[in-house]
């Protein structure tokens, strides 16, 4: 019998952006904008980007690792389902990540967009299950911090 391990973890990232909640929310809702900050990576090429932003809708992103990366030639898939959307206030998703068809994590994530003086406070909470051989919660949190920094750069355009 195979011994299967799962690591469970929750983390929270809080960021402030000098843009109103409507603009920060739109960066998640608009496919062209989301593709620009969320889809582009230095070590991977985006091969697939499908987005259906509505409750019950789903996203599918597929990347191929470039030469010189940790996994050259490997395919990374991200499949997301939208569980709850309140315009300009909240987005709740469930998503899995996989190398090819081998899943290595499953998460539920919540994005809260709170009005603040001069902008938006974003509170991101992820509750994840990371399977054997997975990147683990520390690497996932680091990845989200980088993505939210890319969002800041995109909002500053």
Q: What is the rounded distance in angstroms from the CA atom of residue 91 to the CA atom of residue 27?
A: 12
Rounded to the nearest integer, the mean pLDDT of the chain is: 93
Percent of the chain with pLDDT over 70: 96
The superfamily (CATH) of domain 10-155 is START domain (3.30.530.20)
At 3, the pLDDT band (50, 70, 90 cuts) reads low
| pTM, 2 dp | 0.93
**pLDDT at 69 (0 to 100):** 87
Q: Are strands 44-51 and 6-17 parallel, antiparallel or unpaired?
A: unpaired
- Contact, 95 vs 79, CB < 8 A? yes
Residue tagged 């960021």 (tokens):
15
Q: Can you spell out the DSSP letters for 5-45?
A: -EEEEEEEEEEEESS-HHHHHHHHH-HHHHIIIII--SSEE
Is the pLDDT score of 91 beyond 70? yes
Is the pLDDT score of 66 beyond 60? yes
């Amino acid at each position: 019998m195979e011994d299967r391990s799962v690591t469970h973890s929750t983390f929270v990232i809080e960021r402030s952006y000098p843009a109103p909640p409507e603009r920060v929310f739109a960066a998640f809702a608009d496919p062209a904008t989301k593709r620009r900050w969320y889809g582009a990576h230095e070590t991977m090429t985006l091969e697939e980007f499908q987005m259906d932003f509505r409750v019950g809708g789903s996203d599918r992103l597929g990347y191929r690792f470039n030469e010189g990366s940790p996994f050259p030639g490997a395919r990374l898939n991200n499949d997301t389902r939208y569980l709850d959307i309140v315009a300009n206030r909240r987005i709740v998703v469930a998503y899995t990540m996989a190398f090819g068809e081998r899943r290595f994590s499953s998460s539920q994530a919540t994005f809260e967009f709170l009005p603040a003086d001069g902008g938006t406070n974003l509170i991101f909470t992820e509750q994840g299950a990371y399977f054997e051989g997975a990147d683990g919660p520390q690497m996932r949190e680091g990845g989200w911090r980088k993505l939210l920094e890319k969002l800041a750069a995109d909002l500053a355009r």
